[in-house]
Amino acid sequence: MDLEVSPALTIPSSELGWRFSRSSGPGGQHVNTSDSRVELSWSVADSAVLSDAQRLLLATRLEGRLVAGVITVTASERRSQLRNRELALAKLAGLVAKGLAPGPARRRATKPTAGSTRRRLAAKERRSATKRQRQRPTAE
């Protein structure tokens, strides 16, 4: 089951590593006997589907999640292993898509318009005149 991150990027199932273990949480007695918790691992460093630029981008943006170049996602929210597998795949796809997404656009500095500068200076002048009127008259 290949993981489609985006139309341009699909991670083959051969690069994904699965581990299953007993889960905590809902399920009653059944949860004590079945391996419904899922751990999904994918080696970013050894992936053949990523370009060097993408690999570097993921390594820098997901450095807190990577351990020796491998990203691991766990899912144990659902009672069945199948649902947890689907959830783990969705989590990994979201992380990779977020890591490869372009950053925000750079802010372009703008100059104030002539009208806004004129209005600002006129308001300052009015405020200045108000404060001048409050002063004690000079002895002239």
Give tens-digit pLDDT for 38-80.
888 888 888 888 888 888 888 888 888 888 888 888 888 787 7
Dist. CA 98–CA 58, nearest whole Å: 9
Percent pLDDT > 70 in the chain is: 94
Residue from 42, 46, 43, 25 nearest 34 by CA: 25
Which range of residues forms the domain containing residue 20?
A: 3-100
- Give the phi and the psi of residue 73 in degrees, each rounded to 5: -125, 135
Q: How does residue 115 score in pLDDT terms, banded at 50, 70 and 90?
A: very high
Does residue 30 have a pLDDT over 70? no
27 belongs to a structural domain? yes
Rounded alpha-carbon distances, angstroms, from residue 36 to 33, 71, 96, 116, 126: 9, 20, 24, 64, 73
Q: Check residue 36 and report its DSSP letter.
A: -
Q: How many domains does the chain have?
A: 1
Percent pLDDT > 90 in the chain is: 24
Q: What is the CATH number of the domain that holds 32?
A: 3.30.160.20
Give the pLDDT confidence score for residue 139 in this predicted structure: 79
Residue from 8, 38, 33 nearest 21 by CA: 38
